[in-house]
Amino acid sequence: MTGLLGLAFAGLIYRLVDLQVLRHEEFTLWAQTNTEHEITLEPRRGDILDIRGAPLATSVFVKTVCANPVAIGDRQAEVAHAIAPLLELNEAKLAAMLTTRIRIDEKGQPSTNKFVRLKQKVPLETWERIHAAMTNLVLVADEKKLPTAEARFYKALRQRAIFARDDQLRSYPNQNLAAHVLGYTRTEDGDTGNPVSEIVGLDGIEKTFNAKLAGVRGWRRMEIDKSRHELPTGREQNVEPHDGMSVVLTIDSVIQHIMENALAEGMEKHAPKSISGLVIRPRTGEILAMATLPNFDPNRPGSVSDDSRRNRIVTDLEEPGSTFKIVVVSGALNDGTVQLTEQFDCEHGHFFFAGYPLRDHEPEGVLSTEGIITRSSNIGAAKIGIKMGEDRLRRYIQDYGFGVTTGLPLPGEMSGWRYAPPEAKWKKVSIARVPMGQGIAVTRLQMAMAMCALANQGWLMRPMLVDRLEDREHHVVAKYAPQRVRQVVTESTARQMVQALKTVVTPKGTAPKAALEHYVVAGKTGTANKVENGHYVAKFFSSFIGFFPADDPEVCIAITLDEPKQQGYYGGQTAAPVFKQIAEKVANYLNIKPEDTTPAPSTAETALVSPAEVRSVRAAGTHSQ
Residue ranges per domain, the chain?
Answer: 36-85+112-249, 253-622
Task: Report the topology of domain 36-85+112-249.
Answer: Penicillin-binding protein 2a (Domain 2) (3.90.1310)
Specify the pLDDT at position 332. 96
Specify the pLDDT at position 422. 47
Find out whether 547 and 519 touch, Cβ atoms under 8 Å.
no
- Strand segments, DSSP code E, in 252-347 are 274-280, 287-293, 343-345
User: Could you read off the pLDDT of 253-288 as tens digits, one per residue?
Assistant: 999 999 999 999 999 999 999 999 999 999 999 999
Same CATH topology for 36-85+112-249 and 253-622? no
Specify the pLDDT at position 181. 97
**162 CB contacts (<8 Å, ≥6 apart)?**
65, 66, 67, 79, 83, 118, 130, 131, 134
* Spatial distance between the Cα atoms of 148 and 202, rounded to a whole number of angstroms: 53
Find out whether 83 and 144 touch, Cβ atoms under 8 Å.
no
pLDDT band at 20 (very low <50, low <70, confident <90, very high): confident
* Spatial distance between the Cα atoms of 562 and 274, rounded to a whole number of angstroms: 5
36 pLDDT more than 80: no
Specify the pLDDT at position 237. 62
* Spatial distance between the Cα atoms of 265 and 582, rounded to a whole number of angstroms: 11
Alpha helices in 276-377 (DSSP H): 306-309, 312-315, 325-335, 369-375
Residue 229 is classified by DSSP as: P
Distance of CA 208 to the CA centre of its chain: 9
* Spatial distance between the Cα atoms of 139 and 23, rounded to a whole number of angstroms: 43
Pairing type for strands 48-49 and 246-249 reads parallel
- Does residue 81 or residue 25 have the better pLDDT? 81
DSSP SS3 for 382: helix
**507 CB contacts (<8 Å, ≥6 apart)?**
none
Burial, 299: exposed, middle or buried (Cβ in 10 Å; 0-12, 13-18, 19+)? middle
Q: Terminal CA-to-CA distance of the chain, rounded, Å?
A: 127
Please tell me the CATH code under which domain 253-622 is placed. Answer: 3.40.710.10
For residue 149, the tally of other CB atoms under 10 A from its CB is 7
Sign of the Cα torsion 367, 372, 376, 378 reads positive
pLDDT band at 586 (very low <50, low <70, confident <90, very high): very high
* Spatial distance between the Cα atoms of 97 and 161, rounded to a whole number of angstroms: 13
Sign of the Cα torsion 144, 149, 154, 160 reads positive
User: Could you read off the pLDDT of 202-258 as tens digits, one per residue?
Assistant: 999 999 999 999 988 776 666 666 555 555 555 566 677 788 999 999 999 999 999
